[in-house]
């Protein structure tokens, strides 16, 4: 070496230049240190949200992106197939917590994630959506003084009987970075006292996945498999999904809903991929249905996206599907009394019809006779939300500063 760094910065005896030198070296170290993010998935709807984020982080050498699966969902069809189809890297850690009551599942995740956080010492934990894994990991992280980013923050159904609503409110109350998909969410967060500077309108990561995978999904052979093709043309058909406890945990309620769908199925086939929770009730209650209601096992992301994009009508109680149909411009009837995604109604193709069978049948008939809503795609649902999130994280999250295990108030 021709000259030492010290010499270069002002001579061996100069105290001030050495202070500058220390700063420069510290800054260089800071910049060369990767931003270590621990990304969390637990249940099926988390996967199309994490896929573009992992992809974007892996494109940036500044990130060390770690993926943890809590194992809340564990079936091939609710988890593994999504990893394969969307190219999500295998999780570095799987907590394998499995199913259970809300308390035991949440507690198990809390208990199992803590040693992972202590060992990996991330700069930030990133959670998505509103499932039990979202709140459980956020809580464990903040208690260790680790910052948390919540993607899809601020959505509110104002229905506290929904387990997801509790998860949303609590996660938003403790997260440091709140990434929102729609304007209403900003207002909710401000009303709940969250600081404006922690809220970022970034668009919708699930729609990033939709934009990216739609051309691939359209090549799926599911139309032929299900007999929905007339040569190269698609026949008219509907898609239905139901899995909310309020709709499927009671035999009476589920029978009523299927009764309404029977009337629609008399006019066209309705494809019904059945969630395990719903399957349990269908079996236990011996619930019958019209032969044109076609029950199939839960499938992969690509087949399902293909079906959604080609359907004449979607009936659902899912949150994500309300958004996907809005992005696709496909009419959607939401079989719930409320929605945490009002933009799909004010701007999109979604109609909140509730669970009264007569109203469902009337709304479906209106839609099929050409009176469906013409929607538009909400602002920033453009396929680039993950990019925006990653840029914000790179700018704002401090690296290597968090002393994991020391609460921020101690």
Contacting ligand UD1 (CB under 6 A), which of 51, 53, 68, 72? Answer: 72
Report 4-43 residues binding ligand UD1 (CB under 6 A).
43
User: Nearest distance from residue 255's CB to ligand UD1, in Å?
Assistant: 19
Q: Is 250 in the site for ligand UD1 (CB under 6 A)?
A: no
User: Nearest distance from residue 43's CB to ligand UD1, in Å?
Assistant: 4
Helix, strand, coil percent values for the chain (each to nearest 5)? 50, 15, 35
Residue range at the interface with ligand UD1 (CB under 6 A); choices 71-79, 205-213, 258-266, 302-310: 71-79
CB-wise, 10 or 163, nearer to ligand UD1?
A: 163
Catalytic residue list contains 243: yes
Residue range at the interface with ligand UD1 (CB under 6 A); choices 14-22, 23-31, 271-279, 282-290: 271-279
Q: What is the 3-state secondary structure (H, E, C) of 382-393?
A: CCCHHHHHHHHH
Q: Is 45 in the site for ligand UD1 (CB under 6 A)?
A: yes
| Catalytic residue (choose from 69, 212, 243, 275) | 243
Contacting ligand UD1 (CB under 6 A), which of 36, 49, 55, 73? Answer: 73
User: Nearest distance from residue 347's CB to ligand UD1, in Å?
Assistant: 23
Contacting ligand UD1 (CB under 6 A), which of 51, 109, 127, 131? Answer: 131
CB-wise, 33 or 99, nearer to ligand UD1?
A: 99
Residue range at the interface with ligand UD1 (CB under 6 A); choices 270-278, 287-295, 354-362, 377-385: 270-278
Q: In what order do the strands lie in the sheet with 147-151?
A: 93-94, 63-69, 35-41, 124-128, 147-151, 177-180, 199-201
Contacting ligand UD1 (CB under 6 A), which of 276, 329, 354, 405? Answer: 276
Cβ distance 37 to 126 under 8 Å? yes
Q: Is 294 in the site for ligand UD1 (CB under 6 A)?
A: no
Token pair, residue 328, equals: 């696709």
Token pair, residue 98, equals: 């499995």
Q: Outline where 329-356 has alpha helix (H).
A: 343-346
Residue given tokens 């044109």 in the structure block: 292
User: Nearest distance from residue 284's CB to ligand UD1, in Å?
Assistant: 11
- Nearest-angstrom CA–CA distance, 124 and 233: 48
DSSP-assigned states of every residue in 47-108: HHHHHHHHHHHHH-TTEEEEEEE--SS-SGGGTHHHHHHHTPPPPSEE-------HHHHHHH
CB-wise, 54 or 274, nearer to ligand UD1?
A: 274
Question: Which helix or strand (DSSP H or E) is residue 16 part of?
Answer: helix 15-32
Q: Is 243 in the site for ligand UD1 (CB under 6 A)?
A: yes
147 beta partners: 124
DSSP-assigned states of every residue in 255-311: HHHHHHHHHHHTTS-EEEEPPHHHHHHHHHHT----TTEEEE----HHHHHHHHHH-
Q: Is 74 in the site for ligand UD1 (CB under 6 A)?
A: yes
Query: Which residues are catalytic, by number?
Result: 243
Task: Give me the residues that bind ligand UD1 (CB under 6 A), please.
Answer: 43-45, 72-75, 78, 99, 131-132, 163-164, 243, 275-277, 280
């Amino acid at each position: 070496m021709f000259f030492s760094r010290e010499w270069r910065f002002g001579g061996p005896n100069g105290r001030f230049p050495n202070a500058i030198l220390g700063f420069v070296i510290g800054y260089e170290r800071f910049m060369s240190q990767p931003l270590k993010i621990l990304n969390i998935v637990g249940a099926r709807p988390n996967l199309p949200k994490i896929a573009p984020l992992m992809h974007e982080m892996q494109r940036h050498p500044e990130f060390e992106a770690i993926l943890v699966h809590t194992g809340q969902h564990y079936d091939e069809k609710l988890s593994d197939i999504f990893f394969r189809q969307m190219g999500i890297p295998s999780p570095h850690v799987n907590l394998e917590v499995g199913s259970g009551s809300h308390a035991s599942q949440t507690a198990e995740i809390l208990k199992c994630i803590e040693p992972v956080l202590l060992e990996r010492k991330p700069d930030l934990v990133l959670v998505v959506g509103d499932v039990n894994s979202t709140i459980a990991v956020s809580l464990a992280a903040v208690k260790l003084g680790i910052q948390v980013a919540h993607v899809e923050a601020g959505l509110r159904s104002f229905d506290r009987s929904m387990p997801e609503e509790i998860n949303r409110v609590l996660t938003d109350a403790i997260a440091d970075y709140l990434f929102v998909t729609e304007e209403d969410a900003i207002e909710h967060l401000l009303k709940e006292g969250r600081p404006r500077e922690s809220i970022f309108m970034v668009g919708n990561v699930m729609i990033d996945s939709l934009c990216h995978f739609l051309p691939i999904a359209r090549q799926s052979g599911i139309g032929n498999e299900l007999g929905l093709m007339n040569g190269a043309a698609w026949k008219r058909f509907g898609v239905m999904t139901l899995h909310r406890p309020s709709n499927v945990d009671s035999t009476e309620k589920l029978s009523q809903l299927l009764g309404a769908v029977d009337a629609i199925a008399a006019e066209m086939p309705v494809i019904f991929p059945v969630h395990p929770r719903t399957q349990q009730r269908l079996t236990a209650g011996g619930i019958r249905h019209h032969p044109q209601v076609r029950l199939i096992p839960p499938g992969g992301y690509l087949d399902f996206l293909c079906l959604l994009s080609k359907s004449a009508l979607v009936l659902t109680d899912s949150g994500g599907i309300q958004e996907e149909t809005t992005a696709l411009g496909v009419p959607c009837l939401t079989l719930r009394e409320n929605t945490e995604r009002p933009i799909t109604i004010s701007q999109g193709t979604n109609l909140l019809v509730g669970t009264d069978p007569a109203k469902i049948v009337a709304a479906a008939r209106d839609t099929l006779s050409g009176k469906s809503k013409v929607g538009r795609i909400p602002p920033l649902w453009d396929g680039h939300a993950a990019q925006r999130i990653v840029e914000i994280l790179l700018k704002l999250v401090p690296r290597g500063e968090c002393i994991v295990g020391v609460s921020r108030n101690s």
